[in-house]
Structure 1
Amino acid sequence: MVKQYLKGVLLGSILLAGVVLLCAGCGQKEAESTDPSNFYNKVQIGQTKEDAEKALGVESTELDKGLNYVDEKTAYGVTVNYDDGDLVVFKSLAIPDSTYLDGLSQANVTKEQAASITEGMTYDAVKTILGGVDGIEVTCVKNTKDPATPVNVMAWVNTDRSVVYVTFMGIRGTAKIAEFRQQ
């Protein structure tokens, strides 16, 4: 009899927990992103301008040869260049002037580590040299010689605003150039 009672209590608890979980999202808006890369990640090389603008949902402003889209929640955004067919051929993380890369600080990297990165290293080998932390993609460009292999730049940012930038052939592909910049 006690076993049957405990089964009933357990089953009732499970059902109640399920109802609570189902109703928890009722009437709530989608969570707002505070990720500085939010807008950047919504745009992909080769994406149509129409699809990119629909995904971003904000008006653009002209910036040099591209269009700048800013997320009012984070002040970060994405600068995009389109080709004659209105396809994305370039995107770069748009960073608010006053904060530079402060919101992206996640590393502890040195000039010596950057100097040890050689052309042809895999992303994982570079990541290991730079302390095992993933970099943040800050630029991606269509590779006109090999459209299937875009060129992208990843950044490892220190809290003192120094940065290791590594250019890769392909998304997290093979290293081409590594550079350490001190602010």
Structure 2
Amino acid sequence: MNLNNLNVKELRKFAGELKIPGRWDMNRGQLEHAIERTVLIEEATKLGIEMPYSKTIEELKQAIADQRQKIAKMQEMLRKEREVTEKFMEPENAPTESVEETPKKKKNGRTRVINVFKDGELIETIEGLMETFKWVTDNNITNVGWVKRSLKTGEETNAGYKYKIGGYKFEYAN
């Protein structure tokens, strides 16, 4: 919003809508400053930024820009994670071609059995990698990337932002 295009009467009216105290005693410059600051503080609050009111307008603008950048990065990470998950998961609500249930055809190759350990204790044995991916997703344990990493390196999963509990280890059964 360009406050320069508004006259003092319009600025006071806008300041009243924002519930800025003392607006009747302010001159044009003070009104513009108070309005800009109030709008920035409201935007920062909507973005979840807790800032003391003693911050300058430039500090507020920088904090808002930083938060928007963090949100954009998180959205991009979530989009990539969704793509990976969709790539390895069968759609649950896929339409079936016939009413009769046909047995699943076994693909060429082997189906490997995967053991799931939690803090060193075997808690689940799952047949097939895709079933393991489905199990971890349904039980909100970790993402597909951590399953693959654990199978490859033997590492336990770490707790994170989305998955609060770590300590799961995935191994191929012999």
TM-score bin, normalised by smaller chain: under 0.3
Question: Comparing both structures, which one devotes a greater share of its residues to helix?
Answer: 2
Q: Which structure is richer in relative contact order (CA contacts within 8 A, separation 6 or more)?
A: 1
Question: Comparing both structures, which one devotes a greater share of its residues to strand?
Answer: 1
What TM-score results when the alignment is normalised by the length of structure 2?
0.25
What TM-score results when the alignment is normalised by the length of structure 1?
0.24
